[in-house]
Structure 1
Amino acid sequence: MGGRRSARVLLVDGSERLLLFRMAGENGAPTLWMTPGGGVRRRESLAVAAARELWEETGLRVAPGTLGAPVAWTGGHADLGWRSGYFEDHFFFHRVAAHTVDAAHRDPHEVRALALHRWWPAAELATSAEPLTPHGLSPLLTDLLAGRRPSAPVRLPWHH
């Protein structure tokens, strides 16, 4: 079965903390912390997918146009147990003053897999021993928080 394209969101609150979910490893996949987001549906733009996934996983509604252009991407081959092939993750950056995560719109798989979430202080991302994805997240976030938005999406190292 082929890989997939996903749209993900670097969601930062007013205290400059990044929302990450602890993805429970299934079928031999590792457990790791990752941004909200998921698969792009057929004929769905990246921004529409990112906004839809953000609402499903966090309860936060945003208009796709407010996300702007992707700020980063990564891709490569992987065998995740549930799917293998070429995967691409595209990342948007969005700020909120504050947000309380609401899991009411998750599908049953997301309820199990995304049971834990945490708002991570930006400085802690660089020094954490926890497995985080994508690789290269800390320097990218540092630039974004300083107002340095890339003119084209930054290529991050593939994490598998």
Structure 2
Amino acid sequence: MHPALEPQHGRAQGMPVGPVPRPSARVVLIDDADRLLLFSSRDQLNGMVRWYTPGGDVQDGDSHQEAALRELREETGVTGVTLGPEVWRGRPWITERDGVTYEVRQRYYLARVPAFEIDTTRMEDFEKTSITGHR
């Protein structure tokens, strides 16, 4: 198991130390018609729909920019994108996946692209089952 995925425990008492940091990179993707791409997911606990930009985890050895471009390719099929500046750092938030609690720390980058058809065939299985739509 990757060290970041192992449960974190206190040394003496066996108490949880806290959530595992999970750096993330996202892209504010705007096409030449000034449309912003968002994906949606439905919260399994309360049924609420959440909309968010393309992006995901920063993997070992990746910079935030490399992760943003990789995730953009996987989630949309778009390649050859030049990222603009980092435009925002989101407030950290807590999530749980497979029994591990994470603190997600997101950086957002701006990118402009020509209009395109989204290709989701490179999405990971988790994304294919959790993403309910895009606009």
In the superposition, the TM-score normalised over structure 2's length comes to 0.76
Other-structure match for 1:81: 96
2-side partners of 1:94 and 1:112: how far apart?
26
- How many residue pairs align between the two structures? 115
After superposition, give the CA deviation of every residue in 1:45-102 in whole Å (9 maximum; x if it has no partner).
Answer: 0110000000000010135xx2133111113242x23142432110011111201110
> In the alignment, which residue of structure 2 is the partner of 1:105?
122
State the 1:38 CA deviation: 0.2
Aligned partners of 2:47 and 2:96: how far apart in 1?
7
Pick aligned residue for 1:44 from 33, 38, 62: 62
Aligned-pair identity in percent equals 34
Structure 1 segments (4+ residues) deviating >4 Å: 27-30
Map 1:7-156 → 2, pairs under 5 A: 7-26=25-44, 30-63=48-81, 66-78=82-94, 80-82=95-97, 83-118=100-135
Q: Distance in 2 between matches of 1:69 and 1:110?
A: 26
Question: Does the aligned pair in 1 maintain the 2:92–2:106 contact within 8 Å?
Answer: no
CA contact (8 A) 1:77 1:84 kept: no
Output the CA distance in 2 between the equivalents of 1:85 and 1:99: 33
SS of structure 2 residue aligned to 1:3: strand
Larger radius of gyration: 2
Listed as ranges, the gaps of 5+ residues in structure 2 are 1-6, 8-19
RMSD after superposition:
1.9
Pick the structure with more helix per residue: 1
| Alignment gaps of 5+ in structure 1 | 119-160
**Deviation string for 1:88-123 (max 9, x for gaps)?**
1100111112011101101111111123000xxxxx
